[in-house]
Chains A and B, each alone.
Chain A
């Protein structure tokens, strides 16, 4: 079995910051907007190097989304930065009308997604944002898994013409994808090859899926781990090819099981190849205060939960 190791941990938001800084040097049309969270979004480097292309909006996310839509008229490629909660639920109608329906080339970049925001608690821990964004016609939804992939995704979405929701997070997580990767929107990555069960994971849960696959291997279960960094458009072929071999699947995401990656996968399977599926995600609940590790443990968003789900789903074949 192919195994993954890491030498360094970093937050995915820093990958965004590094990608944005690189875009500042390579693409003169890229502009950035922030609603009073420059440090949290790691936008300092871009701002330092391109002060004229940065717009501090203040604590006014609705205005930020509208200004971003307007900046595209004139050829700019705006990247908005704030927490995932304030990037989606707070401004849903602004995104819906002024960005998605108007098909504006805005990149909505959202940090601190999910439970791993930690101690600030449920007011800030959005677990519904993937669902909100994937329901908007024309919206691309991307949730990369580590620093390198987030940096590559940030750079890639500037080349794509259309609205994008880019979701990343706060905690330091292992860096296990290559620094020189080319990010392809909508193209799933098969990380391990397996025959007994498919694990489709996104974001911070991809590393947990790899940890789970190691433990499963010790138990004689061969798991195929797929990194779905793009939730919409979903790589249906990668999923269907894998379950054609394994005949069962576990989805894993730091998001409500209602409306998330799991439901998108279930739709692909139900309409093409009905397959037993187990869902690792939050069970229609809000989060709470705690350390990221404590929360991922309490809400069962970890390798242990993925292992249990795999063992359950294999029995359902």
Chain B
């Protein structure tokens, strides 16, 4: 069990990884990645009950599915630091012949990834299937997911949200990254979605909100509450209020860094705000 300081140090290193990965290939999605760094660090290092090593079926361990696959930089960094593959491999992100494709995939056999994602709105259905397989197998471990808030504009999510409560898929905790931003602007300017909380509640889910989604203690507390809600006949939704670009001042509170890499000077500035903790790859 890691303490908060250790998780914070890892988060800082993950931020450095994200920035250096997207800078090197001048492509990728730093904004949402930075916003979810604390969440994924906490999830993989404290919340989830994981086995050593990786096998596709993941029997008797918690599973995670990243639905908003474009935040692959944070996913890859967290997976590498969790031991699924060498941290040095992060240097191959988006390069030809790499297992670290632009969006996560099983195609190149990268340990830690169980489904391709990138085309949005598909991850919740997959997670439901995996959760129902766990029930059939008598496996009482949980299935976790992460989705963008803009991603909820894809209709397949609402098919899945309706199904999960109707079929009492109560071993599922879906987290929505509520950063209020998407490519073309804020979610409120692109397509206002009203209250996402009210929508999930109306669809029969248990919903809880983590107001400080970039605070590790708040995340741990929220996820413990979410876990306590599982097994009671309802799927669980965690609304995680995050800041896109968190940890790099000029990337915060804007959609501008959704899919843009920093320049050399910007990288230097960003890294200086996040001093090396565990060592760069």
- In the complex where A66-B129, A73-B130 touch, is A101 in contact with B136 (Cβ < 8 A)? no
- In the complex where A66-B124, A66-B125, A69-B129 touch, is A74 in contact with B136 (Cβ < 8 A)? yes
B280 to chain A, nearest CB (A): 32
B15 to chain A, nearest CB (A): 28
Q: Which residues of B contact A68 (CB under 8 A)?
A: 129
Q: Which residues of B contact A71 (CB under 8 A)?
A: 129-130, 132-133
**Cβ 8 A contact of A62, one of B115, B116, B156:** B156
- In the complex where A53-B136, A67-B132, A74-B134 touch, is A97 in contact with B116 (Cβ < 8 A)? yes
Q: Which residues of B contact A104 (CB under 8 A)?
A: 115
Q: Which residue of chain A has its CB nearest to the CB of B105? A: A101
Q: Which residues of B contact A52 (CB under 8 A)?
A: 136
**Cβ 8 A contact of A67, one of B105, B125, B166:** B125
Count of B interface residues, CB-CB < 8 Å: 39
Stretch from B45-53, B54-62, B249-257, B264-272 forming part of the interface with A: B54-62
Q: Mark B3-20, 1 if CB is under 8 A from A, else 0.
A: 000000000000000000
Q: Within residues 116 to 135 of chain B, which ones have a CB less than 8 A from any CB in chain A?
A: 116-119, 122-134
A53 to B136, CA, bound (A): 8
**Cβ 8 A contact of A74, one of B58, B106, B124, B128:** B58
B34 to chain A, nearest CB (A): 25
| Cβ B122 vs Cβ A94 within 8 A | yes
B267 to chain A, nearest CB (A): 31
A52 to B126, CA, bound (A): 19
| Cβ A74 vs Cβ B57 within 8 A | yes
| Cβ A63 vs Cβ B159 within 8 A | yes
A264 to chain B, nearest CB (A): 24
A308 within 8 A of B: no
Q: Which residues of B contact A72 (CB under 8 A)?
A: 129, 133
B29 within 8 A of A: no
A72 to B59, CA, bound (A): 12
A73 to B156, CA, bound (A): 20
Q: Mark A10-42, 1 if CB is under 8 A from B, else 0.
A: 000000000000000000000100000000000
Interface of A is mostly: helix
**Cβ 8 A contact of A70, one of B116, B128, B137, B166:** B128
Q: Which residues of B contact A67 (CB under 8 A)?
A: 125-126, 128-129, 132, 160, 163
Q: Which residue of chain A has its CB nearest to the CB of B157? A: A63
B210 to chain A, nearest CB (A): 25
A70 to B115, CA, bound (A): 8
A93 within 8 A of B: yes
**Cβ 8 A contact of B118, one of A58, A69, A76, A97:** A97
B79 to chain A, nearest CB (A): 16
- In the complex where A60-B159, A102-B115 touch, is A73 in contact with B125 (Cβ < 8 A)? no
B234 within 8 A of A: no
B135 to chain A, nearest CB (A): 9
Q: Which residue of chain B has its CB nearest to the CB of A103? A: B106
A94 to chain B, nearest CB (A): 6
Q: Which residues of A contact B119 (CB under 8 A)?
A: 93, 96-97
A75 to B59, CA, bound (A): 9
A64 to B167, CA, bound (A): 13
Count of A interface residues, CB-CB < 8 Å: 32
A57 within 8 A of B: yes
| Cβ B163 vs Cβ A60 within 8 A | yes
Q: Which residues of B contact A102 (CB under 8 A)?
A: 105-107, 115-116
| Cβ B118 vs Cβ A73 within 8 A | no
A183 within 8 A of B: no
Q: Mark A160-187, 1 if CB is under 8 A from B, else 0.
A: 0000000000000000000000000000
Q: Which residues of A contact B127 (CB under 8 A)?
A: 70
A289 within 8 A of B: no
A301 within 8 A of B: no
| Cβ A55 vs Cβ B132 within 8 A | yes
B63 within 8 A of A: yes
- In the complex where A73-B58, A74-B57, A74-B58 touch, is A66 in contact with B133 (Cβ < 8 A)? no
- In the complex where A67-B132, A98-B126, A103-B107 touch, is A74 in contact with B115 (Cβ < 8 A)? no
A197 within 8 A of B: no
**Cβ 8 A contact of B160, one of A63, A74, A96:** A63
A69 to B115, CA, bound (A): 8
Q: Which residues of A contact B115 (CB under 8 A)?
A: 69-70, 73, 98, 102, 104
A20 to B227, CA, bound (A): 37
Please give the residue numbers on chain A whose beta carbons come within 8 Å of chain B beta carbons, in ascending order. 31, 52-53, 55, 57-58, 60, 62-76, 78, 93-94, 96-98, 101-104
Please give the residue numbers on chain B whose beta carbons come within 8 Å of chain A beta carbons, in ascending order. 56-59, 63, 65, 105-107, 114-119, 122-134, 136-137, 139, 155-156, 159-160, 162-163, 166-167
What are the 6 closest A-B residue pairs judged by CB atoms, nearest first? A70-B129, A66-B125, A74-B133, A63-B159, A60-B159, A67-B129
Given contacts A74-B136, A75-B137, 19 further A-B contacts (CB under 8 A): A52-B136, A62-B122, A62-B155, A63-B159, A66-B122, A66-B124, A66-B128, A66-B129, A66-B156, A70-B115, A70-B131, A71-B133, A73-B115, A74-B134, A74-B137, A74-B139, A75-B133, A98-B116, A98-B125
Can you give 25 A-B contacts (C-beta < 8 A)? A53-B136, A60-B159, A63-B156, A63-B159, A63-B163, A64-B125, A65-B125, A66-B124, A66-B156, A66-B160, A67-B163, A69-B115, A70-B127, A72-B129, A73-B114, A73-B130, A74-B130, A75-B57, A75-B137, A94-B125, A94-B156, A98-B116, A101-B105, A101-B106, A102-B107
